[in-house]
Amino acid sequence: MTNEIPYKIYLNESEMPKQWYNLRADMVNKPAPLLNPGTHKPMTAEELAPVFCEELVKQELDDTTPYFDIPQEILDFYKMFRPSPLVRAYCLEKKLDTPAKIYYKFEGNNTSGSHKLNSAIAQAYYAKKQGLKGVTTETGAGQWGTALSMACSYFDLDCKVYMVKVSYEQKPFRREVMRTYGATVTPSPSTTTEIGKKILAEHPGTTGSLGCAISEAVEVATTTEGYRYVLGSVLNQVLLHQSVIGLETKAALDKYGITPDIIIGCAGGGSNLGGLIAPFMGEKIKNGANYRIIAVEPASCPSFTRGKYAYDFCDTGMVCPLAKMYTLGSGFIPAPNHAGGLRYHGMSSTLSQLYDDGLMEAVSVPQTEVFEAAEQFARVEGILPAPESSHAIKVAIDEALKCKETGEEKTIVFGLTGTGYFDLVAYEKFHDGKMDDYIPTDEELAASIAKLPVVE
Ligand SMILES: *Cc1c(COP(=O)(O)O)cnc(C)c1O
């Protein structure tokens, strides 16, 4: 065979996407709008303007424009770490002895170590363009905060990060990377905000949660002149920026005439998966293309597989707009799973609608099986994967093993969202046999879901 697929498929600079793709424009059933938490009416651009940058509000509310030009400054920044390689996992295929053809899109080749930089740089750019002084945000495990710190330092913007207290204390290295890029990092809940003081008074000694850190970051953004709030996942605008992952993947596959059968990604708030699948889902909706698309979530935080499709708060403080999504309830605090990036209680409203329409599937997987897959992958493919990404690896391996049984030569593509160098405490627990697989009971989930807001 002369047309053997290379180990890594790269795009030339000229083949890189110049526009982001807005999947919502092609969706028949549009995602439900964000609602004002007071009036329960759809949020208007005017209402969102004090929270988010102007241009990002436009992107957030636009479900008709299919393509947005990527500004030149962002394209220039992307060149530092994009295109990311689409790797043919020859070594993993061999190890599994499967007839399946496995590819992964590797987004971990930048200092922040994940795909989050794709949106961070876009959000920082629009903040700068609007003449703002800075932005605020929350971070859990720290990947988003790191990506945003890098993006803000590039555009010389101030960056205030509220980091979930338990991570602030347990992940000092991420914190120091953020500070290296000039960000101010505050453990949340903190006494720097009204909501933080309130939460601390009600729950002294709490180690914090993402929902709580969001409330603090939003409060600071809306009460400080020249600041806006930015978010690293869940929102439509973030999925739009992350479409660069899927567009590159599709261009690379098209170059070699490859059509995937199965596309797999891990899902926390849904941004990498939404980005990876965007052009493929677009084809599925428009021309009935026959892709199987699978979201993988942790069994400890199963929004898709055990959540309810309903309006819910995006944060614990209940100050943010309501979003219709598969949710476990904004008060749900997942067990301390090591995939910090997958611990959000809800899911992107775009992906929620697609899932509800039966256009994609979801599975949940227990933590130790995820680390077994991570280790198997690292030993043959060389990359040390992030625990979040390893959820996708686990299901890709499962699907490849099914092919081994049936003899089918399916083409599997999965998103490898990042590297796991800052997750070695989790790897240590796994190696020492001290990792647990806590799965919430039906009663626990029902109790949290019972507290969803009532929206007529
Ligand atoms: C944040 C993160 C995720 C999950 O976020 P999504 O918005 O669901 O993509 C997955 N992998 C890594 C490495 C992350 O940092």
pLDDT beyond 60 at 107: yes
pLDDT of residue 208: 86
Give the nearest ligand 1 atom to 272 CA: 9
267 CA from centroid of ligand 1 (Å): 7
Q: What is the mean pLDDT of residues 36-60?
A: 95
CB-based contact 383:377 (threshold 8 Å) = yes
b/e per residue 372-402 (b: at least 16 CB within 10 A): bbbbbbbeebebbbbbbbbbbbbbbbbbbee
pLDDT band at 283 (very low <50, low <70, confident <90, very high): very high
Give the nearest ligand 1 atom to 108 CA: 13
255 CA from centroid of ligand 1 (Å): 27
Of the CA atoms within 13 Å of residue 102, those in its CB half-sphere come to 32
pLDDT band at 2 (very low <50, low <70, confident <90, very high): very low
112 CA from centroid of ligand 1 (Å): 12
pLDDT of residue 136: 98
Residues in Cβ contact with 454 at an 8 Å cutoff, skipping those fewer than 6 apart: none
pLDDT beyond 80 at 335: no
Ligand 1 pocket: which residues have CB below 6 Å?
Answer: 114, 116, 143, 233, 266-272, 341-342, 386, 388-389, 417-418
268 CA from centroid of ligand 1 (Å): 6
Kind and range of the H or E run holding 294:
strand 292-298
Residue 264 pairs with which residues in a beta bridge? 294, 414
pLDDT of residue 3: 61
Q: Which of 138, 264, 342 to probe ligand 1 with, by most ligand atoms within 8 A of CB?
A: 342
Q: Output the DSSP codes for 179-202.
A: HHTT-EEEEES-TTSHHHHHHHHH
pLDDT of residue 171: 84
Tokens of 286: 């428009």
pLDDT of residue 52: 94
The pTM score is: 0.97
pLDDT beyond 90 at 115: yes
Give the nearest ligand 1 atom to 418 CA: 13
pLDDT by residue (tens digit) across 62-94? 999 999 999 999 999 999 999 999 999 999 999
pLDDT band at 219 (very low <50, low <70, confident <90, very high): very high
Tell me the residue ranges of DSSP E strands in 107-198: 134-139, 158-164, 184-188
pLDDT by residue (tens digit) across 190-213? 999 999 999 999 989 888 888 889
Q: What is the mean pLDDT of residues 167-185?
A: 93
The pLDDT > 90 percentage for the chain reads 88
pLDDT band at 405 (very low <50, low <70, confident <90, very high): very high
3 CA from centroid of ligand 1 (Å): 34
Q: What is the mean pLDDT of residues 218-244?
A: 96
Tokens of 290: 């026959």
pLDDT beyond 90 at 340: no
pLDDT beyond 70 at 1: no
Q: Which of 46, 82, 39 is nearest to 61 (CA)?
A: 46
Q: What is the mean pLDDT of residues 247-251?
A: 98
pLDDT band at 315 (very low <50, low <70, confident <90, very high): confident
Window from 164-168, 249-253, 355-359 with minimum mean pLDDT: 164-168
Going from the C-alpha of 194 to that of each of 139, 160, 162, 197, 210, the distances in angstroms are 19, 16, 14, 5, 17
Give the nearest ligand 1 atom to 267 CA: 8
Window from 69-83, 188-202, 314-328, 362-376 with minimum mean pLDDT: 314-328
- Mean pLDDT, the chain, integer: 95
Tell me the residue ranges of DSSP E strands in 299-417: 308-313, 322-327, 361-365, 411-416
201 CA from centroid of ligand 1 (Å): 31
Tokens of 85: 């390689």
Q: Which of 114, 296, 314 to probe ligand 1 with, by most ligand atoms within 8 A of CB?
A: 114
b/e per residue 269-305 (b: at least 16 CB within 10 A): bbbbbbbbbbbbbbbbbeeeeebebbbbbbbbbbbbe
